[in-house]
Amino acid sequence: MTLLEEKINRGGPISPHLQVYNMFALTSFLSILHRIFGAALFVGTLLFVYWIGSAASGPKAYDAAMNFLGSWFGYLLIFGWSFALFYHMCNGVRHMTWDTSRMIDLKSIYQSGYVMVGCAFGLTLIAWVVGLSV
């Protein structure tokens, strides 16, 4: 009997969680990143609110915000925020799939982890290529 089957029989959560694993693995690393990027989304959203607020405050405030956001550091923050957004979104889809009791065997969990990270990178690159070309 697998560890997941034992958890199901005891009435525990079906979705894999950090407590299921005995050692550090890709799955636990991706789970930790999901939480970190969730916090990064909060900080990035505050930055977005700052930008919107500066636009409402007038030309001087907007110019100051655009000078900051248009710097290399501002671009780095926006890039990180956009990657966190796509990572969190792709991992959310992955978790919703698990909630339907699909792809919860260990091989599928690892495969979907690699696919999810690849999709997050791909969507981030597509968004930046399209955004910078406009």
Q: Domain containing 81 — which CATH number?
A: 1.20.1300.10
Residues belonging to the chain: 134
28 with 18: CB under 8 angstroms? yes
SS3 call for 11: coil
- Residue-wise pLDDT tens for the chain (134 aa)? 666 666 667 765 556 555 555 556 788 889 889 999 999 999 999 999 999 999 999 999 999 999 999 999 999 999 999 999 999 999 999 999 999 989 988 899 999 999 999 999 999 999 999 999 98
17 domain residue, yes or no: no
18 domain residue, yes or no: no
CA 78 – CA 92 distance, rounded (Å): 21
Structure-derived torsion over alpha carbons of residues 26, 24, 85, 122, reported in degrees to the nearest 10:
-20
Q: In this predicted model, what pLDDT tens digit does every residue of 64-98 receive, in sequence order? A: 999 999 999 999 999 999 999 999 999 999 999 99
10 domain residue, yes or no: no
40 domain residue, yes or no: yes
Structural domain that includes position 47: 28-133
The residue with tokens 């550091």 is 73
59 domain residue, yes or no: yes
19 domain residue, yes or no: no
Q: How many domains does the chain contain in total?
A: 1
98 domain residue, yes or no: yes
pLDDT at site 41: 95
Structure tokens at 102: 């699909």
20 domain residue, yes or no: no
SS3 call for 28: helix
SS3 call for 13: coil
pLDDT at site 13: 59
H-run or E-run covering 108? helix 106-133
H-run or E-run covering 15? none
